[in-house]
């Protein structure tokens, strides 16, 4: 009887071990958050927003208003002074790492570059208290934006998914004499 | 005597079951403290399950405009609330202005709004399921009132 019990225990333990190996525990992917912080220290004002990216991904395709429909945004060339945004993004996407545009004016410097898999835009307003704008967008997000077949559309929903799959990233910083704006993505649900 | 005991036990059981059923959807908590010009304190703690029930007694025509405006946004609201229920606890919005602080958080299965300003302090906590079913009822009232 004891032998039978021992055999059952060994078989049971072996089955449990094999079962454990066959079905490894798959951890759910960590939630990622889009953070927006706007601060105006002079006025003592601040706005902090923490939006789960999964929430944005699910909401966006349901919004059908204005140029936004089914997660796509329709580009009206008139809104961009007839600049073909999609063509520009596509040209940048297929180009090698380089500095694409550097515009130096008396009061403003603009630099657009592609570096280490990111599209980088720096704008410097050199007037007193002028704005400093830095935008960094992973090229995978740009790829996703252009993944729709329609020429006058950008796929924002796909871009959000791509952003969610990317690592932590500081996307936008804007600083002027009074306000600081910061937009970033990470897996923390607080801004601390 | 034994019969009386059984009746009392039955009543107690029904009461406990009823309270359990009412509280199964969570609780809505409203706490308002006014400081000016006179101090007032309003505190309400009610079972969330009562809200959808209460809504049934309000004539649907009262929701006419609200429901018409809600209708096109229902897919978005449903998606938002469904996902919000699943996400981890998070401070969604935190706004600070001189003399005012507003915080909107997701805590457990509830959305919590805290407003602190010079005149009053407001705390509202409502279960997401109750919010969802209430909004569904308001939106559905549009169809009823158009008939």
Mean pLDDT of B113-119: 93
Q: Is B96–A190 a contact, with Cβ atoms under 8 angstroms apart?
A: no
For residues A111-115, give the mean pLDDT. 89
Question: A163 or A76, which is more confident?
Answer: A163
Cα distance from B78 to chain A (closest Cα, Å)? 9
Contact B55, B28 (CB under 8 A): no
- Residue A19 is predicted with a pLDDT of 46
How many C-beta atoms surround the C-beta of residue B8 within 10 A?
10
Going from N- to C-terminal start, the domains of chain B cover 26-146
What is the chain A residue with the closest CA to B89? A189
Q: Which residues contact A187 (CB under 8 A, 6 or more apart)?
A: A30, A31, A32, A33, A168
pLDDT of residue A79: 63
- Residues in B touching A44 (Cβ below 8 Å): 96-98
Angle, CA of B79, B82 and B86, to the nearest 5°? 130
Output B103 or B16, whichever has higher pLDDT. Answer: B103
Cα–Cα distance measured from residue B139 to residue A84, given in angstroms and rounded to the nearest whole number: 41
The DSSP bridge partners found for residue B45 are B29
Residue A18 — very low, low, confident or very high, per pLDDT cuts 50/70/90?
Answer: very low
Residue range B28-86, pLDDT digits in tens: 999 999 987 778 899 999 888 888 778 888 887 788 888 888 898 999 999 999 999 98
Distance CA A163, CA A185 (A): 8
Higher per-residue pLDDT: B90 or A24: B90
Find the chain A residues whose C-beta atoms sit closer than 8 A to any C-beta of B: 31, 33, 43-52, 54-55, 58-59, 61-65, 189-190
pLDDT per residue as tens digits for the range A59-91: 999 998 888 888 998 887 656 666 777 788 778
Q: Give the pLDDT mean for A125-131.
A: 85
Residue in A145, A92, A146 with CA at minimum distance from that of residue A121: A92
Among residues of chain B, what percentage have pLDDT more than 70? 93
Q: Which of B18-27, B73-82, B137-146 has the lowest mean pLDDT?
A: B137-146
Report the C-alpha gap between B3 and B6 in whole angstroms. 5
How many residue contacts between A and B have a Cβ separation below 8 Å? 64
Confidence of residue A27 (pLDDT cuts 50, 70, 90): low
pLDDT at A120 over 70: yes
Confidence (pTM):
0.76
* B63, B68, B70, B75: CA torsion to nearest 10: 130
Q: Name the residue ranges covered by the structural domains of chain A.
A: 31-186
Q: What is the pLDDT of residue A20?
A: 47
Chain A neighbors of B90, CB-CB under 8 A: 33, 50, 52, 189-190
User: How is A5-17 classified by DSSP, letter by letter?
Assistant: HHHHHHHHHHHHH
Choose between B130 and B16: higher pLDDT: B130
Under the banding of pLDDT at 50, 70 and 90, the label for residue A94 is confident
Q: The tokens of A189 are what?
A: 């649900």
Distance CA B72, CA B144 (A): 16
Would you tell me how many other CB atoms lie within 10 Å of the CB of residue A73? 19
pLDDT on residue A30: 79
Q: How far is B143 from chain A (nearest CA, A)?
A: 21
Among candidates B79, B96, B98 on the partner chain, residue whose Cβ is nearest the Cβ of A62: B79
């Amino acid at each position: 009887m004891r032998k039978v019990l021992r055999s059952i225990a060994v078989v049971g333990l072996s089955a449990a071990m094999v079962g454990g190996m066959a079905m490894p525990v798959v951890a759910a992917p960590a939630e990622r958050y889009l953070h927006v912080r706007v601060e105006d220290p002079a006025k003592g004002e601040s706005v902090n927003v923490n939006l789960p990216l999964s929430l944005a991904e699910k909401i966006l395709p349901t919004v059908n208003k204005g140029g936004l429909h089914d997660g796509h945004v329709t580009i009206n060339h008139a809104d961009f002074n007839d600049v073909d945004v999609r063509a520009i993004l596509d040209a940048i996407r297929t180009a090698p790492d380089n500095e694409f545009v550097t515009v130096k004016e008396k009061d403003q410097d603009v630099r657009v570059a592609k570096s280490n898999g990111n599209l980088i835009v720096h704008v410097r307003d050199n007037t007193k208290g002028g704005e400093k704008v830095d935008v960094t967008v992973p090229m995978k997000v740009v790829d996703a934006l252009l993944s729709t077949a329609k020429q006058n559309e950008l796929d924002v929903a796909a871009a959000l998914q791509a952003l969610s799959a990317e690592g932590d990233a500081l996307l936008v910083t804007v600083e002027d004499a009074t306000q600081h704006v910061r937009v970033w993505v990470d897996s923390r649900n607080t801004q601390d | 005597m034994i019969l009386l005991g059984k009746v009392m036990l039955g009543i107690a059981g029904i009461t406990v079951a009823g309270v359990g059923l009412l509280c199964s959807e969570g609780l809505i908590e409203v706490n308002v403290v006014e400081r000016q010009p006179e101090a007032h304190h309003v505190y309400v703690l009610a079972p969330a399950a009562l809200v959808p029930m209460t809504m049934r007694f309000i004539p649907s025509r009262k929701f006419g405009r609200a429901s018409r405006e809600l209708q096109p946004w229902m897919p978005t609201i449903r998606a938002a609330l469904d996902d919000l229920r699943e996400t981890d606890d998070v401070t969604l919005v935190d706004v600070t202005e001189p003399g005012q602080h507003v915080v909107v958080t997701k805590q457990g299965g509830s959305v919590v709004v805290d407003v602190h300003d010079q005149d009053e302090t407001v705390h509202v906590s409502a279960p997401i399921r109750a919010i969802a079913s209430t909004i569904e009822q308001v939106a559905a009232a549009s169809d009823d009132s158009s008939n």
